[in-house]
Amino acid sequence: MKALQVSRSVPKLGMARLASAVSPLAAAKLGPLAYTTVDEPELPGPGWHRVHTRLAGICGSDLSLVEGHASLYFDDVVSFPFVPGHEVVGELDDGTRVILEPVLGHEARGFAPPFEGAAPGDGDDYSHLSTGALEPGIQTGFCCSTGGGWAPTFVAHESQLHRIGDMPDERAVLVEPFAGGIHAALLAAPVVAARQDTTRPAVVAVLGAGTMGLAAIAGLRRYVPDVEIIVGARYPHQQMLAKAYGADVVVGPDGLQRAVRRATGCHLIGDHLSSGAHVTIDAVGTSATVADSLRITRPRGRVVLLGMPAEVTVDLTGLWHRETELKGAYTYGTEHLPDGRTARTFDLAIETATAVEAERLLSATYPLSDHVDAIAHAATAGRRGAVKIAFDMRTGDT
């Protein structure tokens, strides 16, 4: 079958990295991603299904890979060559439509789950990611054994599949990023609940309003009570969507610090707020946004890194002095909600995607063969007025 595949090629990764500084289009052309013929992956064993992709989204982590910016950290937990694509809605051989929860957890690799009912992302020992029945890979879309959503067909373990009834594909393809955003939102909840002054809402700042930022906003509004959500969003359509998804205040990125200051009534001392947001969710993940997050988060507050940061350069003096907590937010799992419930993040994401009609974030779809244009569109989505770009394989025309 014809699919998009990433191979381990140091020269191509280097070329992509260089080319991405010029244009995403060039990076997609010169980089490690190729539109090529690949074998359909074998079913690894019982409990595995063949999934026929309908829509597969392009995520920020996919882009950093294609553009050669992915961290060396992943070297031992991915296996080449692999077919990317982890934001997927597809159908099983019997026609059942499913969403993929892409994390390749314990069960998929033939291990007992860390606790009964655990989600694939749960656990505090990641040894299973590079052992067991599959080649190394943190998720479907980074593992050569399973294939990925940027192909007409891949394989997935039962533990990874969510059957979706009549949910439209365009909404279903957004569930995975929504789960990521909601997970980050729920990481704010303990700090919000533990705050000293409960006479005023807690302030949660969100940097960036791409898909993940918007999902975090929707998650905060839906699952974390008593918060004032302040968002720094660059583009007008992002600002409009942030407002629609429940942000209380939406400003341009340059105005975020002042907006947080106004909301908290604190001072601006040098380039740091004297107090600031209880929690800041960085949905961008660059050196600049991590530094900005530290500047606007109050002492002993929490910065949640939702956007994958890769290598950043940040002065951590402020973090040290203010005892700021830096918290990663990778994927999803089992959540403990402020109202006492326990739920799988994916279930919350399905609920939220339906409530906010997440399909309006899907801006454009492309066939796999137009991957260069698709990648370029996704890489420049914000300034082109778009949010989510996906590959569409429903017509069989790849």
Partner 1 sequence: MPRPGFVLDVDRSTPPTLFWHGEGFRLEKLPADRSRVIYAPEPHDAIDDVDGAIRTALLHPIDMDPLPSLLFPGMKLTIAFDDVSLPLPKMRRPDLRQRIIEQVLTMAADAGVDDVHLIAALALHRRMHEFELRHALGDRVYDAFEPRGLLFQHDAEDPDNLAFLGTTDQGEEIEINKRAAESDLLIYVNINLVAMDGGWKSTAVGLASYRSLRHHHNPTTMEASHSFMDQHASELHKSTWRMGKVMRDHGPKVFQIETTLNTDTFPQPFEFLAKREWEWNAKDRALYLASAKALAKAPPRTARKIFHGIEAPHQMTSIQCGEVEAVHKVTTQNVYDQQLVEVEGQTDILMLGIPYICPYNVNSIMNPILVMCTGLGYFFNLYRGKPLVREGGVVILTHPTTNEFHPVHHPSYIDFFEEVLADTTDPHVMSQKWEQQYAEDDWYRHLYRTTNAYHGVHPFYMWYWGSHGMKHVGKVIIVGGDAATVRKLGFTPASTMNDALEIASDTVGRHPTITHMKTPPLMIADVK
Minimum Å gap between C-beta 262 and partner 1 is 6
For the CA atoms of the chain, what is the radius of gyration? 20
For partner 1, the binding residue among 18, 268, 343, 372 (CB under 8 A) is: 268
Identified binder of partner 1 from the candidate list 259, 279, 281, 386, rule CB under 8 A? 259
* Contact flag: residue 251 with partner 1 (CB under 8 A): yes
Q: Which of residues 26-55 bind partner 1 (CB under 8 A)?
A: none
Nearer to partner 1, 266 or 326 (CB): 266
Among 21-29, 103-111, 260-268, 277-285, the segment contacting partner 1 (CB under 8 A): 260-268
Burial label, 13 (beta-carbon count in 10 A; 0-12, 13-18, 19+): buried
Question: Kind and range of the H or E element at 24?
Answer: helix 24-30
Q: Helix H segments across 68-168?
A: none
- Please tell me whether residue 265 binds partner 1 under the rule CB under 8 A: yes
- Segment near partner 1 (CB under 8 A), from 201-209, 264-272, 357-365, 389-397? 264-272
Coil, strand or helix at 92: strand
Residue 244 interacting with partner 1 (CB under 8 A): no
Q: How far is the CB of 83 from partner 1 (least distance, A)?
A: 44
Cβ 298 to partner 1 shortest distance, Å: 14
Q: Of 12, 51, 55, which is closest to residue 34 (Cα–Cα)?
A: 12
Task: Kindly list the distances between the CA atom of residue 271 and the CA atoms of 80, 234, 281, 286, in Å, as whole numbers in the listed order.
Answer: 44, 20, 19, 18
168 touches partner 1 (CB under 8 A):
no
Q: Is 286 helix (H, G, I), strand (E, B) or coil?
A: coil
Of 200, 262, 336, 341, the residue at the interface with partner 1 (CB under 8 A) is: 262
Are 95 and 334 a contacting pair, CB within 8 Å?
no
How many residues appear in the chain?
398
Question: Could you give the CA distance from residue 275 to residue 1 in angstroms, rounded to a whole number?
Answer: 56
200 near partner 1, rule: CB under 8 A: no
| Total residues in contact with partner 1, by rule CB under 8 A | 11
Instruction: Give which of 71, 81, 87 is closest to 33, Cα–Cα.
Output: 81
**What residues make contact with partner 1 under the rule CB under 8 A?**
249, 251, 255, 258-259, 261-262, 265-268
